[in-house]
Amino acid sequence: MTAIQSRPGAPWVGQGIDRVDGPHKVTGTAPYASDVTMAGMLHAVVVTSTIAAGTITKIDTSALLTLPGVRAVFTHENFPRLNTPPVIPFGDTPVAPLQDGRIAFHGQEIALVVADTPQQATEAARLVEVVYAPEPALLDPADGRPEPLSYLPDTHRGDTEAGWAIADVRVGASYRTAENTNNPLGLMGCVAAWDGDHLEMHDTTQWPIALRQTLAAVFGVPESGVRVHVPYLGGGFGAGLNQWAYKLLAAGAARALGRPVKLMLTRPQMFRLVGHRPDSEHQVRLGAARDGTLTMIEHRATSLSSLDHPAVGLLTAGTPQVYACPNVATVERTVRLNRRYPASMRAPGEAEGNWALETALDELAYELGMDPLELRLRNVSSVVHPPSGLPWSSNALVECCKVGAEVFGWSRRDPRPSSMREDGLLIGWGMAAAFYGAYLAMSRARVTVYADGTAAVRAAATDIGTGTYTVITQLAADLLGLSPHQVDFQLGDSDLPAAAQSGGSGLASSLSNAVIDAVTHLHGELLDLVGEGSPLYGLRPDDVVCRDGALCRRDDPATQESIADLLAGQGLLEASGDGRVRLPDPATAGMCHAGGFGARYVEVAIDPMIGRLRVRRVVSVTDAGRVLNPKLARSQILGATVGGIGMALFEETLTDPDTGRVANGTFGDYLLAVSADVPDVEVIFVGEPDRFTPAGTKGVGEIGLVGVPAAIGNAVFHATGRRLRSLPITVDQLVM
């Protein structure tokens, strides 16, 4: 960090200040897309298919147009023709909607009803009559063809068969995870309004710039004329990364009708139209020497995906990264079916892959007669990144494991299954290690200082609840020598400098990098205003800092010029610096850019007679590099822990085997963890600022989920002696 702190309370980075947007959220005044209304706005409701494969032969909508308030019914026969959506890495746009009568999955968008009120549109949508020519649907994974993933090749290091042959102890088993649906509490949707070729959209995207790019391409208008607003959104967990069809439907309808159109999905549609974590199957084989040293790791995994949309994958991406095993192989495939689109969901792939690998390691520990913690410590490669041979830019996994064990009291664990009992309950203690890969994406940011001493930071980022508003405000306050209340961070508007998505746990790192760069450029802009007689004249941007409304010599802060005076001298009211992400070249950096690491310790209590499981304790230790705001970072880990509990014990989106219909697509049938399911979670951060990024951050949004399911499953084994390899672990699996 380059800032010199001066204001009382500084440095702000590292302090657990309250969320700057908190007052808006607790008073109900934070504007979400669903809260937007416009003059003349119409309401649209999506109609979805009731078969999984085939074509629409007839869709009669004429009667609907006579219903009160109904303005239009769009089908593939009359919806505007759309250009093919552009390819956007990690956020692919599904096939453009209503372009033909083909059905690729049950629940697909087949019509759009637009009416004066939501009630009228909803009722008319229910009455749309469709005749299909059904075709046999590919629904059973066993009938599908496993395909490799273009962006995730098989990996090999060493010779796994040789590693298997020399192993003293071997384990191998299959593991499964269920389909989970992101289900942010905020229903996704948008308001679209056109003015000539200009399109304005209020949406629930996690990536305003990608949406702008998509809308411009699909509708054949200049990107400069498309503006996306998302100052707030009701969560996303990955569901807001893709440019889903509903956005194109709303924009197309609004253009055709010449009126603003609001389209909010229903909760059942949230299970079908905005992605999910796909089902996955894993085969893991591990070999180890008698002392626990791993001799081989093999991880084969398959996820399910849809016909028109590739899998998200990444099930095996983390497997070669953590342990210093000479012989490692990963093989990943996907099977395309007539099913709804998968997409990213909090720690995509890694959550599932870690479940398989860290459960297998627990099995290996028991085969070895070794403490599961000891097995991890023996094999963690804490200095060198095993696949590249380069040193990690940071890695505190060993510390995570040790601190967690200490706080949890792991040394008091009797390793024998079913050995710990309390009031008729079986107590189980389990642990797992966690890793989440580093991700950074191009971001820009603009930092502006004003004559009145305040400042603004602007970037087209989003805050999905992770705290972007707050942490960037803190960072900018330190860089500008101001207090957070003097800094206004404006985001959620695609007209602002382009920023990365809220995804991959990379936004804070990317954006802070751009903000640091922007402040350097601001220094240059201000130095440009300095007169020849000034003691600052001729200095370079790195030689100065901003502080209390003055531009100061970095090495002699008393030598300074008032920024207000500098601006006034040139008749200016403000000065800005634009910045972008600047990173060391990975090829020459001489280190491997590390992601987050963690260790999860869990205590479960099981009533074996009735299969009742309660998570009683969680200790979650994370190395996330520099923690910009410990209060908000802790919240991220807490929330991810709740997500991990849900994945382990409750969440499973079920599909009718015969029809491909989502069988439990409501909050009454698909269970999220509730307050009563969650214990007081102990959250601990360890480690040092990462060396690879200027801010030293590694991301906290996803790592907290990774490892929780495996730690729970391992605790279940310790409690019961029963190795459950399929998530979720439910009552019927636990009765003994």
Partner 1 sequence: MKTTRSTAPAPTTQDEYTVDVFTVVNGAPVQWRIDTRTTLLEALRDSSGLTGTKRGCDQGACGACTVHVDGARVLSCLMLAAQADGRQVTTVEGLVGEEGQLHPMQEAFVRHDAFQCGFCTPGQLMSAVCLLREGRAGSDAEIREYMSGNLCRCGAYDNIVAAVREAAGGGA
Partner 2 sequence: MRAFVYDCPDAVDEAVASVAADPQAAFLAGGTTQLDLMKDGVWTPDRLVDISRLPLRGILVESQQLKVGALTTMEQLAAEPVVAQRLMFVREALLAGATVQLRNMATIGGNLLQRTRCRYFRDPTVSACNRRSPDSGCAAVDGVARMHAVLGVDERCIALHASDVAVPLLAVDSTVLVSGPTGQRRVPLSEFWVRADEGPSIENVLGHGDLITEIDVPLLPNGWRSGYLKVRDRASYEFALTSAAVALQMDGDMIADLRIALGGVGSVPWRAREAEEMLRGTHVDPVRFEQAGRAVMASAFTVPGTAFKVDLAVRTLSRQLLTMTEATP
Return the active site residues. Answer: 702
In the list 23, 26, 83, 126, the residue contacting partner 2 (rule: CB under 8 A) is 126
- Of residues 210 through 269, those in contact with partner 1 by CB under 8 A are 232-237, 264, 266-267
**What's 116-172 look like in SS3?**
CCHHHHHHHHHCCEEEEEECCCCCCHHHCCEEEECCECCEEECCHHHHHHHCCEEEE
Nearer to partner 1, 237 or 450 (CB): 237
Residue 472 lies near partner 1 (rule: CB under 8 A): no
- Of residues 180 through 209, those in contact with partner 1 by CB under 8 A are 183-187
| Contact status, residue 44 vs residue 120, Cβ threshold 8 Å | no
Nearer to partner 2, 658 or 688 (CB): 658
Taking residues 9 to 48 in sequence order and writing x for each that binds partner 1 by CB under 8 A, - otherwise, the string is ---------xx-xxxxxxxxxxxx-xx-x-----------
Nearer to partner 2, 18 or 658 (CB): 658
Nearer to partner 1, 643 or 713 (CB): 643
| Contact status, residue 276 vs residue 304, Cβ threshold 8 Å | no
Taking residues 264 to 293 in sequence order and writing x for each that binds partner 1 by CB under 8 A, - otherwise, the string is x-xx--------------------------
Query: Stretches 146-154, 443-451, 548-556, 657-665: which one binds partner 2 (CB under 8 A)?
Result: 657-665
| Contact status, residue 194 vs residue 227, Cβ threshold 8 Å | no
Instruction: List the structure tokens of 33.
Output: 């897309």
Closest separation in Å from C-beta 238 to partner 2: 23
Closest separation in Å from C-beta 626 to partner 1: 19
Residue 485 lies near partner 1 (rule: CB under 8 A): no
Residue 565, contacted partner among partner 2, partner 1, none, CB below 5-8 A by kind: none
Residue 384, contacted partner among partner 1, partner 2, none, CB below 5-8 A by kind: none
Residue 661 lies near partner 2 (rule: CB under 8 A): yes
In the list 122, 454, 559, 726, the residue contacting partner 2 (rule: CB under 8 A) is 122
Residue 78, contacted partner among partner 1, partner 2, none, CB below 5-8 A by kind: none
| Residues contacting partner 1: total by CB under 8 A | 62
For 660-711, the DSSP string reads: --BS--STTTSPPP-GGG--PEEEEEES---SSSTT-B---SSTTTTTHHHH
Residues in contact with 371: Cβ distance below 8 Å, sequence separation at least 6, in sequence order = 365, 413, 415
Residue 664 lies near partner 2 (rule: CB under 8 A): yes
Residue 726 lies near partner 2 (rule: CB under 8 A): no
Residue 674 lies near partner 2 (rule: CB under 8 A): yes
Q: Measure the CA–CA gap between 349 and 277, rounded to whole angstroms.
A: 8
Residue 78 lies near partner 1 (rule: CB under 8 A): no
Rounded to the nearest 5°, which phi and psi values hold at 4? -105, 130
Nearer to partner 2, 28 or 533 (CB): 28
Residue 35, contacted partner among partner 2, partner 1, none, CB below 5-8 A by kind: partner 1
Other CB atoms within 10 Å distance of the CB of residue 65? 12
Closest separation in Å from C-beta 118 to partner 2: 10
Q: Measure the CA–CA gap between 673 and 692, rounded to whole angstroms.
A: 36
Residue where the block lists tokens 């959104």: 233
How far, in Å, are 228, 650, 674, 703, 709 from residue 677 at the CA level? 38, 10, 5, 21, 14
Rounded to the nearest 5°, which phi and psi values hold at 466? -80, -20
Closest separation in Å from C-beta 105 to partner 2: 14
Residue 23, contacted partner among partner 2, partner 1, none, CB below 5-8 A by kind: partner 1
What number of residues does the chain have?
736
In the list 14, 391, 677, 691, the residue contacting partner 2 (rule: CB under 8 A) is 677
| Contact status, residue 624 vs residue 685, Cβ threshold 8 Å | yes
Q: What is the sign of the dihedral through the CA atoms of 47, 50, 52 and 57?
A: negative
Residue 166, contacted partner among partner 1, partner 2, none, CB below 5-8 A by kind: none
**DSSP secondary structure letter of residue 493:** B
Alpha helices in 391-444 (DSSP H): 397-408
Rounded to the nearest 5°, which phi and psi values hold at 112? -135, 125
| Contact status, residue 518 vs residue 579, Cβ threshold 8 Å | yes
Residue 189, contacted partner among partner 2, partner 1, none, CB below 5-8 A by kind: none
How many Å is the Cα radius of gyration of the chain?
Answer: 27
In the list 673, 681, 712, 716, the residue contacting partner 2 (rule: CB under 8 A) is 673
| Contact status, residue 436 vs residue 318, Cβ threshold 8 Å | yes
- Of residues 580 through 639, those in contact with partner 2 by CB under 8 A are 609-612, 614
Nearest residue to 103 (alpha-carbon basis) of 183, 64, 48, 65? 48
| Contact status, residue 657 vs residue 594, Cβ threshold 8 Å | no
Closest separation in Å from C-beta 420 to partner 2: 21
How far, in Å, are 145, 315, 348, 490, 605 from residue 333 at the CA level? 9, 9, 15, 41, 36
Closest separation in Å from C-beta 649 to partner 2: 7
Closest separation in Å from C-beta 493 to partner 1: 18
Instruction: List the structure tokens of 514.
Output: 């751009």
**DSSP secondary structure letter of residue 496:** S
Which residue ranges make up the site for partner 2 (CB under 8 A)? 50, 119, 122-123, 126, 609-612, 614, 649-650, 654-658, 661, 663-666, 668-669, 671, 673-677, 730-732, 735
The footprint of partner 1 (CB under 8 A) covers: 18-19, 21-32, 34-35, 37, 117-120, 123, 183-187, 232-237, 264, 266-267, 464-467, 631-632, 634-636, 638-643, 666-668, 672-676, 678, 680-681
